[in-house]
Copies of this chain bind each other. A is one copy, B any other.
Amino acid sequence: MQQQISVVTIGSSDLVRSKRFYAEGFGWKPVFENEEIIFYQMNGLMLAVFALGSLETDMNRTGSLKPAGFALGHNVHTKDDVEPLIDRLASAGGTILRPADAPLHGGFRGYVADPDGHAWEIAWNAAWSIDDHGLVTFGL
């Protein structure tokens, strides 16, 4: 079995608001969108922002829009890139959960919730390489 994630799908209660957050916050452009779903071509996988009711119908589980025990990570190339991105995400409709600071395991990171509460960790981690295509490789 390939060690492979094909798509991360997050539920949205307002696709217009979500699109603004990802466009103005991260500067990302959709590869496809309609009234129900927005796809972003990421580093070898897809990010899907799916109307919450449609996602709940698709996964056959309802009542699910709550902050959850999960986080998405976006690593940047230098320590100085972390705080400006967190500030930009907050300006684009996000909520800062943790202002950037240095965790015990090293690096520098903060957390921002998107408009639906999905947590994004914005991190600089010198031990994890990121190539020109955005592919991330583990390191200690």
Q: Which residues of A contact B (CB under 8 A)?
A: 1-12, 26-29, 31-32, 39-47, 52, 55-56, 58-61, 63-75, 85, 97-98, 103, 111, 113, 116, 118-119, 121, 123, 128, 130, 133-138, 140
Least CB separation from A99: chain B residue: B60
Cβ–Cβ contact B8 & A44, under 8 A: no
Bound-state Cα–Cα, A63 to B66, Å: 10
Bound-state Cα–Cα, A121 to B38, Å: 17
Bound-state Cα–Cα, A27 to B1, Å: 6
* Chain B residues within an 8 Å CB radius of A68: 11, 64-68, 70, 118
- Among B11, B47, B136, B140, contact of A69 (Cβ-Cβ < 8 Å): B11
